[in-house]
């Protein structure tokens, strides 16, 4: 894995890094300790990314702050090191970090000389004590003289917006940018953003009208892509299992695939980029404006749309569950335009060309071929 070019956002979006932060084990600890030791300039970004991940998963955060945990770790390290300062070890003995913060905190301030290596007994004691910290069951004698350092790190507060199927949401962000969030979608971002960027994390689909700010680029992370803009309007569609589409209406954006060494694709108004499921290639092309942003004007537009994608649109639009029966083996493509119509009218309009029957029972719909 190559992390030499990782930003904070790259670490946050890396599944293996997130798993290491939330559920560390010996294997992941050794893997990330080795990787970060080869890229010492990335400790700061990794530590900040860890804070963001924990903030996004507040229910799973430990009750102790990082500064408290760090202080306890350093005290433990000093006690065990002083106790065994005269012990000698072989060069091939391997250290297993106990927690992600131990790797990140110790690495930032460690001297250039070799680290002290715990022997088997000390490692076992350290594991027991650190686990005791996590469950709040430390012996009072160990901490009676240990001062708890003040946590001066600013509290990071994230805004989160989620739309359920059948509901769309209009949002105004703190910088004045406008967002229309489509049904069944999710948006997360740091409240008031950072000083040097405006980072957005999107699942689903949204239309952005971005307020220009040359000092803070507007960055949308959606599945495998990153779209960067200064002041512009564009649509991002990134549903699981479907192609990722970025379509530019005004301004200028750069789109790149995360973890890729290729140069970003620059879009001009009227251009779009698509990444098909399972492919790494970014394909640039023109797009149908009505097809792409019709949803923002209460308009459903199908233009040779695959059946399963059309069903996802209808489920999100009307808040229903659709079941298929006797689905043909060949691919079915749907076409049609519907302006603020009922679900029954939409199905009626589609069934003549596609030759299916349907049943609507409250929130459950059955399509029969």
Q: Are residues 13 and 109 in the same domain?
A: yes
350 belongs to a structural domain? yes
Q: What is the DSSP letter of 264?
A: P
Residue 3 falls inside a structural domain: no
Question: Which residues, 6 or more positions from 95, have their beta carbon under 8 angstroms from its beta carbon?
Answer: 33, 115, 117, 118, 123
Cα distance between residue 80 and residue 102, in whole Å: 15
pLDDT tens by residue, the chain, 369 residues: 788 888 888 888 888 888 888 888 767 777 888 788 888 888 888 888 888 888 776 544 445 555 655 665 566 556 556 555 544 444 444 445 545 666 665 555 544 444 444 445 455 545 544 555 554 544 444 444 445 445 555 567 889 999 999 999 999 999 999 999 999 999 999 988 988 999 999 999 999 999 999 899 999 999 889 999 978 999 999 998 899 999 999 999 999 988 777 888 999 999 999 988 777 778 899 999 999 999 999 999 999 999 999 999 999 999 999 999 998 888 899 999 999 999 999 999 998 888 899 999 989 999 998
Residues 137 and 181 in one domain: no
Give the pLDDT of residue 116: 46
Identify whether residues 275 and 302 lie together within a single domain: no
pLDDT of the residue at 336: 92
Angle at 243 between CA 273 and CA 229, to 5 degrees: 40
Residue 149 lies in a domain: no
In this structure, is residue 247 part of a structural domain?
yes
Residues 303 and 326 in one domain: yes
Same domain, 131 and 25: yes
Phi, psi of 198 (to 5 degrees): -125, 95
Residues in Cβ contact with 276 at an 8 Å cutoff, skipping those fewer than 6 apart? 243, 283
Question: Which one of 250, 267, 288 terminates a domain?
Answer: 288
Q: Can you give the length of the chain in residues?
A: 369
Q: Determine, yes or no, domain membership for 108.
A: yes
Q: Domain range spanning residue 313?
A: 298-368
CATH code of 215's domain: 2.60.120.1440
The CATH number of residue 303's host domain is 3.55.50.30
Residue 24 within any structural domain of the chain: yes
Handedness of CA 47, 52, 55, 60 (dihedral sign): negative
Question: Of 94, 110, 143, which residue sits at a domain end?
Answer: 143
For residues 101 and 128, membership in a common domain is answered with yes
> Could you tell me if 211 and 239 lie in one domain?
yes
Rounded to an integer, what distance in angstroms lies between the CA atom of residue 184 and that of residue 317?
9
Specify whether 167 is located in the same domain as 210.
yes
Q: Cα–Cα distance between 101 and 47 in angstroms, integer?
A: 8
Residues 358, 310 share a domain: yes
Q: What pLDDT does 210 receive?
A: 96
In a domain, 152, yes or no: no
- DSSP annotation of 179: E
Same domain, 317 and 196: no
Give DSSP secondary structure letters for 65-100: -HHHHHHHHHHHHHHHHHHTTT----TT-----SSH
> What is the pLDDT at residue 222?
92
The count of domains in the chain is 3
C-alpha–C-alpha distance, residues 209 and 342, integer Å = 29
Which residue among 143, 173, 199 closes a domain?
A: 143
d(CA 203, CA 236): 10
Cα 183 versus chain centre, distance:
19
Examine the domain organization and report whether 216 and 133 are in the same domain.
Answer: no
Same domain, 89 and 171: no
| Residue 2 included in any domain | no
163 SS3 class: coil
Using CA atoms, how far apart are residues 242 and 205, in angstroms rounded to an integer? 12
């Amino acid at each position: 894995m190559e992390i030499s070019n990782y930003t904070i956002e790259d670490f946050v979006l890396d599944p293996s890094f997130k798993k290491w932060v939330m559920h560390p084990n010996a294997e992941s600890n050794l893997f990330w300790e080795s990787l970060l030791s080869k890229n010492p300039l990335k400790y700061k970004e990794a530590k900040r990314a860890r804070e963001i991940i924990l903030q996004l998963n507040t229910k799973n955060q430990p009750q102790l702050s990082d500064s408290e945990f760090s202080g306890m770790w350093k005290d433990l390290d000093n006690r065990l090191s002083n106790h065994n300062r005269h012990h000698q070890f072989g060069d091939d003995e391997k250290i297993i970090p106990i927690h992600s913060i131990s790797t990140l905190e110790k690495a930032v301030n460690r001297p250039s000389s070799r680290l002290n290596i715990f022997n088997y007994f000390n490692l076992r004691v350290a594991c027991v004590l650190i686990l005791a910290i996590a469950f709040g069951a430390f012996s009072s004698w160990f901490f009676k003289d240990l001062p708890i350092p003040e946590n001066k790190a600013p509290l990071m507060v994230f805004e989160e917006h989620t739309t359920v199927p059948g509901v769309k949401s209009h949002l105004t962000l703190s910088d004045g940018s406008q967002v229309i969030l489509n049904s069944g979608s999710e948006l997360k971002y740091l409240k008031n953003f950072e000083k040097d960027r405006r980072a957005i994390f999107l699942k689903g689909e949204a239309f952005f009208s971005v307020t220009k700010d040359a000092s803070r680029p507007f960055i949308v992370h959606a599945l495998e892509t990153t779209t960067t803009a200064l002041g512009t309007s564009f649509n991002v569609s990134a549903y699981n299992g479907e192609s990722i589409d970025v379509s530019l209406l005004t301004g200028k954006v750069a789109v790149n695939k995360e973890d890729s060494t290729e140069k970003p694709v620059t879009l001009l108004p009227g251009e779009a980029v698509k990444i098909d499921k399972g492919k790494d290639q970014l394909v640039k092309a023109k797009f149908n404006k009505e097809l792409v942003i019709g949803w923002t004007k209460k308009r459903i537009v199908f233009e040779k749309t695959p059946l399963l994608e059309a069903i996802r649109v209808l489920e999100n639009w009307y808040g229903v569950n659709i079941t298929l029966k006797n689905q043909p083996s060949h691919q079915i493509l749907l076409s049609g335009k519907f302006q603020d119509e009922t679900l029954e009218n939409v199905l009626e309009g589609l069934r003549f060309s596609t030759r299916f029957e349907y049943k609507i029972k409250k929130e459950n719909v059955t399509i029969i071929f």
